[in-house]
């Protein structure tokens, strides 16, 4: 599981001004013998969470943290 910034320049603007929303994405990685496969598990324009930096997945729950936010986003019912 990996979290990251969809638009790096927008994230740089967000770093300077918390009012600028930065898109976030969380991908789940599957390591297979001949390749690494990825699935997008969360994609947001920054309205729910700006600048995702970490994600943890367990059961049907996804917890996402962000670089500058004082809170984490808890998503339940995730497959």
Alpha-carbon torsion, ordered 75, 39, 3, 76, to 10 deg? 10
- How many Cβ atoms sit within 10 Å of the Cβ of residue 78? 14
Over residues 32-65, the pLDDT tens digits come to 999 999 999 999 999 999 999 999 999 899 999 9
Over residues 57-75, the pLDDT tens digits come to 998 999 999 999 889 999 9
Q: Six-digit token pair at 14?
A: 């967000």
The pTM of the whole model exceeds 0.75 = yes
Cα–Cα dist 30/68, whole Å = 28
pLDDT band at 18 (very low <50, low <70, confident <90, very high): confident
The structural domains of the chain, with segments of one domain joined by +, span 2-76
């Amino acid at each position: 599981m990996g979290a990251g910034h969809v638009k790096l320049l927008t994230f740089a603007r967000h770093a300077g001004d918390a009012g600028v929303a930065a898109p976030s994405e969380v991908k789940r990685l599957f390591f297979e013998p001949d390749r690494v496969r990825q699935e997008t598990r969360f994609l947001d324009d920054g309205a729910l969470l700006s600048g995702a930096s970490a994600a943890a997945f367990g059961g049907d729950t996804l917890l996402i943290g962000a670089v500058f936010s004082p809170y984490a986003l808890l998503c339940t019912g995730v497959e």
